[in-house]
Amino acid sequence: MLKMKAARAVYSEIQKTFGTFAFTLRALKDESNAKLGIIECTKHGVVQPYEVYYEKEGMVIFCCCCCCSCC
């Protein structure tokens, strides 16, 4: 399923800490490792990113909230 060590570590932390609730990458222990691992998790469909629905004019928005789907 997940080949990279970073992806497995991020997925394990997500399951232990957040369960099926939404979270941000900033809430994870190692943010740089989380950015690396979350990419593989989303490619394999293990987590699903939330999309930004609207933004205020003139604001810069970066949203990477994910929800873990446990099978």
- Taking only the tens place, the pLDDT of each residue in 8-32 is 999 999 999 999 888 888 899 999 9
Burial class (CB in 10 A: 0-12, 13-18, 19+), 65: middle
Q: What is the pLDDT of residue 71?
A: 52
**pTM to 2 decimals?**
0.69
Q: Per-domain residue ranges for the chain?
A: 5-68
Interhelix angle 5-17/31-43, rounded to 10 degrees, is: 100
- The hierarchical CATH code for the domain 5-68 is 1.10.10.10
Q: What is the pLDDT of residue 54?
A: 64
- Closest by CA to 28, choosing from 49, 48, 43, 10, is 10
